């Protein structure tokens, strides 16, 4: 009986470790993935969008944020979609 309990606990422990490792690799794969993104810029109720190609989300957001502008009574806000 004791051996059976130890065996079950060992199996659970191994499964938790395998799941954790798989989860970490999955998150890394998704966050470092390069793909196409849409950047939408709006001002005064008008909006326009353009495509940012082959970038990670972080890099695409930085690129999209470069379109933000405020001056001369005009405010343009860009958001990554």
The 3-class secondary structure across the chain, one letter per residue, is CHHHHHHHHHHHHHHHHHHHHHHHHHHHHHHCCCEEEEEEEEECCEEEEEEEEEECHHHHHHHHHCCCEEECCEEEEEEEC
pLDDT (average), residues 18-30: 58
- pLDDT-derived band at 23 (thresholds 50, 70, 90) equals low
Same structural domain, 22 and 47: no
| The pTM of the whole model exceeds 0.75 | no
| Domain span holding position 16 | 1-32
Same structural domain, 68 and 42: yes
Same structural domain, 28 and 50: no
């Amino acid at each position: 009986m004791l051996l059976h309990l130890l065996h079950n606990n060992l199996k659970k422990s191994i499964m938790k470790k395998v799941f954790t490792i798989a989860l970490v690799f999955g998150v890394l794969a998704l966050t470092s993935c390069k793909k196409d993104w849409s950047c939408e810029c709006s001002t005064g109720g008008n909006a326009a969008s353009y495509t940012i190609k082959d970038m990670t989300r972080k890099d695409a957001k930085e690129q999209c944020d470069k379109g933000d502008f405020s001056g001369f009574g005009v405010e343009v806000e860009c958001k990554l979609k």
